[in-house]
Amino acid sequence: MSEPSSKPIETASKPLPEATPPRNRALVFLGSGVFFFCVVALGIILRGLYFARNRALWLDEAFLALNIVDRDLRGLLDPLSYDQSAPVGYLMAIKAIVTTFGSCEFALRSYSLTAGIVGFLLVAVLASRVLEKPAATFALAVTALSFPLIRYASELKQYSGDAAIAALILLLAIALHDRPQDRWRFVVFAIAGGVSVWFSLASVFVLAGTGLVLGCVALRDRDGRRIAFLLGVAIVWVASFAVNYMKFLAPTRGNTNLSSWWMDSFMPWPPLTAAAVKWLAWTFVSLFEHPLGLVLPGLGVLAFVIGCQTLHRTRTAELYMVVLPLGFALIASALHAYPFTERFLIFAAPGLALVVGSGAYRIAQVSWLNSKLLGAAFVMLLFLQPLLVAANGIADEPYGGVREAVQTLAEQEEPGDALYLYHWSQFEFRYYADRAGYDASRAQAGITARNEWDYYEAEIEALRGNPRVWFLFIDVAPHLGEGEEQFFLNRLDAVGSRVEHHTWNNARLYLYDLTNR
């Protein structure tokens, strides 16, 4: 048996001969440890600021919050209500936090914030290990300024954890690739992978990608010992995933509502038609807008292509560890097992940032060599707009209003008042009504009639004769070119009189007198 190789598939990252321009003060500063630390601090500060805004829960968060708050630990092992799906380990962790600290928004989102910051720091370690210093700073800056990553670090969803777990798996895989003679690295890799599938559905793709690369390297080196260890690692992973799938994931596969909702996010099959090629091209470009948050995704595509070329020559194994998970996710998408879109691809952000950072630095080198103005313009275009988007997103309050609406109801409601909830409003209302001590059972939740306007009219008709009826609208969906809310208001104005109304960002509260005219 051959001795195990302690060398990576290629030598450590080093600049290409033709990519070594004269030293530029700006690039030297961008590659300095001081600037790297500043980027680390900026990424943490942005995530902390967005978390501190304490935004009201939006619809998807309310769905999950009601499941977590209304159920005990045993109940969370059953399929979730409201067409929700989340890793059981994630649910258990949130339930433990809520049981300890209460069900406020900060507690519900604390897991995501922790995962967001830890994942960001892991990207810093990854970038420093894989890339030369300036390129590592570029990669970290992409991650720090990505508003999707900032947002999901303060949202009651598992996606921030997906990115952190993906970064951890990549880091462990690279460490094992660099020093495969250390047996304890196999043990750690096996345990981490076996546990990760319980907290992140997307971790399966990262494990498959990194495991395949490590296996191919071991086969190339004809290292039987390493192959045997990797088979043991794979057995642990497969066993853990099989138990998780059979017990918790399989029941969600039959949810036709989830499948139909994400139908446009599944790769067309066969992928050879004009429509499929268009879908693939559009989806690929969209990766750089979400999850990486690049306002000009074309620049991201260019940096990615050049980064692939650079890393293929210098860090081939690491490049494939980054790219292959997306390929596995794409296959799962074709099988209608995993949507290939936006938040479901947050797990790919750490790896994509490494490639884009490598390519972006290479472009900056060449640009600055030809023109300092051109080089500065590229850096500004790549990073300034994402910074502005992140700042605007932190300052914005897109989901506020439901807390104020519940408070207004509590203060102004009189005995005998009726409350009608637009069908999408009931979930956020239930969460905040329970916290405010408001009896949510007194509210009448509307049905989802869509294009059956007669149902809405029948619900309004049933409220006729009541001198005080409150109507709450949150998360109103467009309907047949006319807003459903506007349809209600037109009908209500025809059969009654508006007494007062209150408007917040995404919530409107109306009081009507519906006594017969």
Q: Where exactly are the structural domains of the chain?
A: 18-395, 402-513
Contact 130, 314 (CB under 8 A): no
Tokens 């109304």, located at residue = 501
Query: Cα–Cα distance between 477 and 144 in angstroms, integer?
Result: 33
Residue showing tokens 């949810």: 255
Distance (Å, rounded) from C-alpha 423 to C-alpha 305? 46
Q: Cβ distance 389 to 295 under 8 Å? A: yes
Confidence (pLDDT) at 3: 46
Q: Which residues contact 129 (CB under 8 A, 6 or more apart)?
A: 171, 174
Residue 8 has what pLDDT?
44
Rounded to whole angstroms, how far apart are CA atoms 102 and 79?
A: 23
As beta bridge partners, residue 508 has 473, 503
Q: Who's near 44: CB < 8 A, 6+ residues apart? A: 117, 120
103 and 69 in contact (C-beta within 8 Å)? yes
Spans of the chain, pLDDT less than 50: 1-22, 480-481
CA dist 98 and 237 (Å) reads: 30
With contact defined as beta carbons under 8 Å apart, do 429 and 474 qualify? Answer: yes
SS3 252: helix
Note the pLDDT tens digit of each residue in 198-211.
999 999 999 999 99
Residue 502 β-bridge partners: 509
The β-bridge partners of 511 are 470, 500
Q: Residue type at 231?
A: L
CB distance 394 to 49 below 8 Å: yes
Return the ∠ at Cα 70 (arms to 64 and 71), rounded to 5°.
90
pLDDT of residue 176: 97
> Is 137 within 8 Å of 39 (Cβ atoms)?
yes
pLDDT in tens, 268-310: 988 888 989 999 999 999 999 999 999 999 999 999 999 999 9
Q: How many CB atoms lie within 10 A of CB 184?
A: 7
**E runs forming strands in 388-496:** 418-421, 443-445, 469-474, 478-479, 482-483
Q: What tokens appear for 109 in the block?
A: 């989102």
Whole-angstrom distance, CA of residue 71 vs CA of residue 105 = 17
Q: CB of 425 within 8 A of CB of 488?
A: no
Nearest to 390 by CA among 29, 53, 127: 53
Distance CA 194, CA 241 (A): 7
User: E strand or H helix at 512, and its extent?
Assistant: strand 507-513
Residue 2 pLDDT: 44
DSSP string, 363-419: HHHHHHHH-HHHHHHHHHHHHHHHHHHHHHHHH--TTTTHHHHHHHHHHH--TT-EE
Amino acid present at 46: L
Q: Which amino acid is at 142?
A: V
Compute φ and ψ for 473, nearest 5 degrees.
-120, 120
DSSP for residue 21: P
Q: Could you identify the residue written with the tokens 């997103």?
A: 393
Cis peptide before 270 (omega within 30 of 0): yes
Q: Is residue 187 exposed (0-12), middle (13-18) or buried (19+ Cβ within 10 Å)?
A: middle
CB 477 within 8 A of CB 425: no
Instruction: Tokens 């006594």: give the residue.
Output: 515
Helix (H, G, I), strand (E, B) or coil at 272: coil
pLDDT at res. 510: 97
Instruction: Report the first-to-last Cα separation within the chain, whole angstroms.
Output: 94
8-state DSSP, 267:
P
What's the confidence (pLDDT) of residue 15? Answer: 46
Judge if pTM exceeds 0.85: yes
**3-class DSSP assignment, residue 169:** helix
Name the packing angle between helices 133-145 and 372-395 (round to 10°): 30
> What sign does the dihedral 208-210-213-218 (CA atoms) show?
negative
